[in-house]
Chain A
Amino acid sequence: MAVNVLIVDDSFSMRSIIKKTIKVSGFEVGKFLEAADGKEALQVLINEWVDILLTDINMPNMNGMELIGEMKKDKVLSSIPVVMVTTEGSERRVREAMELGARGYIMKPFLPEEIKGTLCSILGEAEYAKKELDEGYEGGDF
């Protein structure tokens, strides 16, 4: 299954590295989407289907924690798995991000295998959760 990946980081070099790492790791990606901060990410999320979101924490305008907070307010957006890819390695920050709903955490500097391992595990879980949802879904109004 090809997945759409949204990468949120104020460094375009870092976005490019993450994209390249995901490509070489053999993931079937439908579309790579990018945003430079949380505000831009929300705009992308309104217009595009996203299967997984990788975000930095420390960004201008709207940081990664605020982005997760905004996504939590929306039923559809809150179901998108979020992975923090950040230099902020403090236990407090990791705990805060997980409590807010992040599904994974990758510290910069990272090795390609770390991104691959985290994505495999999270997308595997997401696929399982989606199947469960589909099986339990009884139809809607639209």
Chain B
Amino acid sequence: MRRKSLMKVMRAAISDVLETMFFVTVEFAESTCTLKEWFSDKQLLFGATISFSGPSSGSLWLVAPVSSLNEITANFLGRGKDEISDEEKRDTVKEALNMIGGHGFSLLGRKDTFALGIPSLIEGLTLIENMQGNSSKHTILIKAGQNRLAAGIGVD
């Protein structure tokens, strides 16, 4: 499977999931900046990864700063931003990634071939440091309203 087509469906899945479940408008930045530059305001970052297997295997990841997660978690749960706990933010980043992965693979059309693992948390800074060597072609920079997130694919 070509990484290009995987990136295309993942973008579609990110839009569908963030707009349907988290009520934010999604735009993709065409910038080639690094993840460290994208998240330059030194906020605490929350990250999650999920493995996949099938015609190709690898992992998907999602990372978001605390301010972005405050907003999307509040939208998701229908509560005020100041009522959201860190545990709920972590749960949100995992569940958002889980939905993006599942929805993305279902959009691929080869519906019976991919299996997703169980999402796990990863410290956001560690995640972006691990991804530093990756090409920007494998990274999706996301603007969700006023907030920034990033996602990506690592194919084994």
- Residue B111 CB within 8 A of the other chain: yes
Whole-angstrom distance from the CB of A5 to the nearest CB of chain B?
A: 18
Whole-angstrom distance from the CB of B92 to the nearest CB of chain A?
A: 6
Residue among A10, A13, A60 with max Cβ neighbours from chain B (10 Å): A13
- Residue B156 CB within 8 A of the other chain: no
**Known interface pairs A12-B91, A89-B106; A59-B77 also in contact (CB < 8 Å):** no
Interface stretch (choices B34-42, B95-103, B139-147): B95-103
Are A107 and B76 in contact (CB-based, < 8 A)? Answer: no
Instruction: Please name the residue on chain A nearest to B54 by beta carbon.
Output: A90
Q: Which A residues have a C-beta under 8 Å from some C-beta of B?
A: 10-14, 16-17, 20, 58-60, 86-93, 107-111
User: Inside 8 A of A93's CB, which chain B residues have their CB?
Assistant: 112
Are B77 and A90 in contact (CB-based, < 8 A)? Answer: no
User: Inside 8 A of A109's CB, which chain B residues have their CB?
Assistant: 16-17, 20-21, 99, 103
Instruction: Please name the residue on chain A nearest to B104 by beta carbon.
Output: A87
Contact partner of A20 (CB less than 8 A), chosen from B78, B105, B117, is: B78
Rounded to whole angstroms, the CA-CA distance of A34 and B113 in the bound complex is 31
Write the B63-78 contact mask toward A (1 if CB under 8 angstroms, else 0): 0000000000100111
Q: Which B residues have a C-beta under 8 Å from some C-beta of A?
A: 16-17, 20-21, 73, 76-78, 88, 91-92, 94-95, 98-99, 101-103, 105-106, 111-114, 116-118
Of the A-B pairs whose beta carbons lie under 8 Å apart in the complex, a sample of 19, sorted by A's number, is A11-B94, A11-B95, A12-B88, A13-B91, A13-B95, A17-B76, A58-B116, A88-B116, A89-B105, A89-B106, A90-B105, A90-B112, A92-B111, A108-B21, A108-B98, A108-B99, A109-B20, A109-B103, A110-B21
Are B92 and A87 in contact (CB-based, < 8 A)? Answer: no
Are A60 and B76 in contact (CB-based, < 8 A)? Answer: no
Are A111 and B20 in contact (CB-based, < 8 A)? Answer: yes
Are B91 and A108 in contact (CB-based, < 8 A)? Answer: no
User: Inside 8 A of B76's CB, which chain A residues have their CB?
Assistant: 13, 17
Instruction: Please name the residue on chain B nearest to A14 by beta carbon.
Output: B95
Whole-angstrom distance from the CB of B113 to the nearest CB of chain A?
A: 7
Are A89 and B78 in contact (CB-based, < 8 A)? Answer: no
**Known interface pairs A13-B73, A14-B95, A108-B21; A90-B106 also in contact (CB < 8 Å):** yes
